[in-house]
Amino acid sequence: MTPEPIVDIADDAGDLADRVAIWLATRIAVAPARVALNLSGGSTPKRVYELLGGEDLGRRLDWGKVHLFWGDERFVPKDHEDSNFHMAWEAMIRHVPIPAAQVHRIPTEAGSPEKAAALYSETLQSFYGARTLDPQRPLFDVTLLGLGADGHTASLFPGTAALNERKAWATSIIGVKPEPRISLTYPVLESSAAILFLVSGAEKRDILARVLANDPSLPTSRMAAHGTIRIIADRAAAGET
């Protein structure tokens, strides 16, 4: 991946969540105007969202300037337990005073994953104010990403056609997982002032080592971000325990 990622090591999953939540809260606090956060799903960011939605941090943040987006989604109803939106809703969104119009979830109520991807592309383009991304003007302030043990990030899975999609802003991924997925494509994920990968647990040790070695078979190896890339891993994932 380019640029070369900065790697931070946290003691454990709790320390990782603390650091990421504080880092995000600081980005929100210093942003002069609106701040666009592109969220990841899965299990790793849940504690981060709980902290941001909690008494300590949540109350102090100016949610009026925050816009939330998702890097990927499972094609399930918005209140389904597998929904990435649902996880963030329960952990954070429902506890904070963010205007509903600033929560830009992937519309899985659209008739098909393809339609959901097309509609979400329009949402992103309307927020950005253009259909072409300018490397000097990132769409997102922060993009959070995870790393599956199989090497997927967002819903970009190794060896899938979605990896070659450079025109559409969002695309559907069918037949890889039991449920269809919708994922932002590389050019859109890359259009972020800062990308932060969250990697936790011993089961991620092998895949993280391959990511850091820039294994060309992994989706992360093709990522060419306009801003910075940071990986925060706990000691278990980093192989330090």
Interacting residues with ligand LXAUTJHC (CB under 6 A): 40-44, 72, 84, 145-146, 148, 154-155
Q: How far is the CB of 194 from ligand LXAUTJHC (least distance, A)?
A: 16
3-state secondary structure (DSSP) of residue 109: coil
3-state secondary structure (DSSP) of residue 143: strand
Nearer to ligand LXAUTJHC, 72 or 190 (CB): 72
Nearer to ligand LXAUTJHC, 72 or 141 (CB): 72
CB 13 within 8 A of CB 48: no
Nearer to ligand LXAUTJHC, 180 or 187 (CB): 180
Q: How far is the CB of 123 from ligand LXAUTJHC (least distance, A)?
A: 18
Strand partners, 198: 232
Q: How far is the CB of 39 from ligand LXAUTJHC (least distance, A)?
A: 8
Nearest partner of 84 among 188, 178, 181, 10, judged by Cα = 181
Q: How far is the CB of 130 from ligand LXAUTJHC (least distance, A)?
A: 26
Q: How far is the CB of 113 from ligand LXAUTJHC (least distance, A)?
A: 13
CB 232 within 8 A of CB 199: yes
Listed in sequence order, the residues at least 6 apart from 202 whose beta carbon sits closer than 8 Å to its beta carbon are 236, 237, 241
Other Cβ atoms closer than 10 A to 238: 22
The CA-based angle 234-157-14, given to 5 degrees, is: 20
Q: How far is the CB of 166 from ligand LXAUTJHC (least distance, A)?
A: 21
Nearer to ligand LXAUTJHC, 62 or 107 (CB): 107
Nearer to ligand LXAUTJHC, 133 or 147 (CB): 147
Nearer to ligand LXAUTJHC, 54 or 201 (CB): 201
Listed in sequence order, the residues at least 6 apart from 237 whose beta carbon sits closer than 8 Å to its beta carbon are 199, 200, 201, 202, 204, 205, 208
